[in-house]
Amino acid sequence: MITTPITAELLRGALELEETPQGLQPHRLPARARAQVPDQQLTMAEAQASGVRLVFRTEATVVELDALATKNSYAGAPPRPAGRYDLIVDGALTAQATVPGGNVLVINMATGGAELEPGPVGTVRFDLPAGSKQVAIWLPHNEITKLVALRTDAPVTPVPLGDRRVWVHHGSSISHGSNAASPSTTWPALAAAAGDVELVNLGFGGSALLDPFTARAIRDTPADLISLKIGINLTNADVMRLRAFGPAVHGFLDTIREGHPTTPMLVVSPLHCPIQEDTPGPVMPVLTDGVLRFQATGEPAPGKLTLTVIRDELARIVKLRSADDPNLHYLDGLALHADSDPELPDDLHPDAATHRLIAARFADHAFTPGGPFAADHPTG
User: 122-162 pLDDT, tens per residue?
Assistant: 999 999 999 999 999 999 999 999 999 999 999 999 999 99
Per-residue buried b or exposed e for 145-155, using 16+ beta carbons within 10 Å of the residue's own CB: bbbbbbbbeee
Look up residue 61 and give its amino acid. Answer: T
Q: Which domains can be identified in the chain, with CATH numbers?
A: 2-157 (2.60.120.260), 166-366 (3.40.50.1110)
User: Which pTM value belongs to this model?
Assistant: 0.95
What's residue 276's pLDDT? 96
Q: Centre a 10 Å sphere on the Cβ of residue 91 and count the other Cβ atoms it contains.
A: 11
Q: Centre a 10 Å sphere on the Cβ of residue 286 and count the other Cβ atoms it contains.
A: 13
What's residue 361's pLDDT? 98
Average pLDDT, whole number, for the chain?
95
The residues with which 114 forms a beta bridge, in sequence order, are 107
Look up residue 222 and give its amino acid. Answer: P
Write the CB contacts of 341 (distance below 8 Å, at least 6 apart in sequence): 272, 354, 357
pLDDT category of residue 378 using cuts at 50, 70 and 90: low
pLDDT category of residue 380 using cuts at 50, 70 and 90: very low
* DSSP secondary structure letter of residue 68: E
What's residue 74's pLDDT? 79
Q: What is the pLDDT of residues 174-214, one digit of tens each?
A: 999 999 999 999 999 999 999 999 999 999 999 999 999 99
What's residue 172's pLDDT? 97
How far is 81 from 167, CA to CA, in rounded Å? 29
The pLDDT of residue 376 is above 80: no
Q: What is the pLDDT of residues 237-257, one digit of tens each?
A: 999 999 999 999 999 999 999
| Best CA proximity match to 34, nearest among 207, 213, 293 | 213
The pLDDT of residue 379 is above 70: no
Q: What is the pLDDT of residues 23-49, one digit of tens each?
A: 999 999 999 999 999 888 999 999 999
Backbone angles phi, psi at 255, to 5 degrees: -60, -45
Backbone angles phi, psi at 129, to 5 degrees: -70, 155
Handedness of CA 347, 351, 357, 363 (dihedral sign): positive
Lowest mean pLDDT among 108-112, 213-217, 229-233, 334-338: 108-112
What's residue 73's pLDDT? 84
